[in-house]
């Protein structure tokens, strides 16, 4: 079983391939970026409040259980 050797890419060819692939990317507009950032911020706040509540409930539950011991 003879394995084919992979053809090595020169640094110049690599840069050309990267530029070609980067030109295919659809970049978001400024408005889309701002909207996404606001959405992420709101979700972070909501989730942090949720986990704060869950943590507080479990903390209270553990403290209550420890008073029974």
pLDDT tens per residue, range 3-51: 567 788 899 999 999 999 999 999 999 999 999 999 999 999 999 999 9
| pLDDT number for residue 46 | 98
Instruction: Provide the sign of the torsion angle of the four alpha carbons 22, 26, 30, 36, taken in this order.
Output: negative
Residues 6+ apart with CB under 8 A from 28: 36
| pLDDT number for residue 54 | 98
Contact 13, 5 (CB under 8 A): no
**pLDDT confidence of 69, banded at 50, 70, 90?**
confident
Task: Please state, in angstroms and rounded to a whole number, the distance separating the CA atoms of residues 47 and 40.
Answer: 10
Residues 6+ apart with CB under 8 A from 36: 28
Report whether pLDDT(66) > 80. yes
Tell the residue number behind the tokens 């060819």, with chain if given. Answer: 13
């Amino acid at each position: 079983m003879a394995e084919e050797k992979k053809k090595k890419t020169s640094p110049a060819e690599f840069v050309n391939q990267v530029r070609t692939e980067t030109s295919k990317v659809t970049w978001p507009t400024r408005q889309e970026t701002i909207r996404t950032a606001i959405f992420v911020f709101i979700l972070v706040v909501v989730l942090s409040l949720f986990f704060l509540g869950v943590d507080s409930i479990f903390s209270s539950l553990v403290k209550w259980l420890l008073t029974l011991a």
